[in-house]
Amino acid sequence: MKEKPFAHKKRIEDNYEYTLILLNDDYNTFDHVIESLVQICGHDPVQAEQCALIAHHKGSCEIKLGSKRILLSMKSRLLNRNLTSEVKK
């Protein structure tokens, strides 16, 4: 008897790449934003500083790519630190 290969099904939302976007605000310090990006998104300090500066000057910055589920979790953690972000496809 020949074995059938195991069919692994991913959830549909995990098949797509989503983007987590940091939005600029007028009340958080650069140090707070940088520290949050390092701790939550896994950025190194230089990358986090660059993202903070881009968001400050342009209004927003793409900070992470990934699955919707993971990025929504990061968005929630950023919100707990009073940082505004959004997840887009």
Per-residue model confidence (pLDDT) at position 11 = 56
Domain locations along the chain: 15-88
Per-residue model confidence (pLDDT) at position 1 = 53
Phi and psi at 23, nearest 5°, equal -105, 145
Q: Which CATH number fits domain 15-88: 1.10.3720.10, 3.40.50.2300, 3.30.1390.10, 1.10.15.40?
A: 3.30.1390.10
Q: What is the pLDDT along the chain (89 residues), one digit of tens a residue?
A: 555 554 544 555 455 699 999 999 999 999 999 999 999 999 999 999 999 999 999 999 999 999 999 999 999 999 999 999 999 99
* Pick from 80, 58, 35: nearest CA to 21: 58
Predicted TM-score of the model (pTM): 0.81
Task: Tell me if 26 sits within 8 A of 79, measured CB to CB.
Answer: no
Q: Report how far residue 25's alpha carbon sits from residue 89's, in angstroms, rounded to the nearest whole number.
A: 22
Per-residue model confidence (pLDDT) at position 80 = 98
Task: Tell me if 65 sits within 8 A of 41, measured CB to CB.
Answer: no
